[in-house]
Amino acid sequence: MLNGPNLGTLGTREPKLYGTATLADIESAVRERAAELGVILRFAQSNHEGELIDILEAERSRADGCVINPGGLSHTSLALADALRAFSRPVIEVHITNIYAREPDRRVSRTAEAATGVVAGLGADGYVLALEGLTRLLTGVAVRAESG
């Protein structure tokens, strides 16, 4: 699970737009759901495009899939899109806001062109939903919350 530029400031960065959940809160929720699903994950955040690409290259032979929120790089980075294509495993792109309802420059995602699917506009919950969707793609089994 990769997070791009400025996502380390979630919770304090424009909370009316991005909510009050911190990246640590999101990681905790995702790790909890991953444990329920039996999924092992690596969670990383970087403000540097090259570091995200390095992680994708390093994980290509180990990881079964990727959930990524590229942040602003989604709109500009052909290099990251190329790294996602070279990753050659299912990729789910996630955005906290609905990028398609925002400013014109944010409505185009270069990285989404390399993704298997996109979850956008569902807030911090989108990360868990992206994990569930990726798990279903990889296993062919529907995942659902345990009912009590």
pLDDT tens for 42-82 read: 999 999 999 999 999 999 999 999 999 999 999 999 999 99
The pTM of this model reads 0.93
Contacts of 67 (CB under 8 A, 6+ apart): 1, 2, 91, 92, 94, 127, 130, 131, 134
What is the pLDDT, as a whole number, of residue 107? 92
Give yes or no: 95 in active site.
yes
* Total Cβ atoms within 10 A of residue 141: 9
Report the alpha-carbon distance of residue 35 to residue 38 in Å, rounded. 5
Give yes or no: 100 in active site.
no
Q: Which two tokens stand for residue 129?
A: 């939903």
**Domains of the chain with CATH codes:** 2-139 (3.40.50.9100)
Task: Write down the mean pLDDT value for the chain.
Answer: 95
What is the pLDDT, as a whole number, of residue 141? 85
- Do 6 and 72 meet the contact criterion of CB atoms below 8 Å apart? yes
What is the pLDDT, as a whole number, of residue 143? 74
Report the alpha-carbon distance of residue 69 to residue 142 in Å, rounded. 23
Higher per-residue confidence, 106 vs 21: 21
Report the alpha-carbon distance of residue 37 to residue 32 in Å, rounded. 9
Q: Which tens digits make up the pLDDT trace of 113-141?
A: 999 999 999 999 999 999 999 999 999 98
Question: Which strands make up the sheet holding 117-120, listed edge to edge?
Answer: 44-45, 2-3, 66-69, 91-95, 117-120
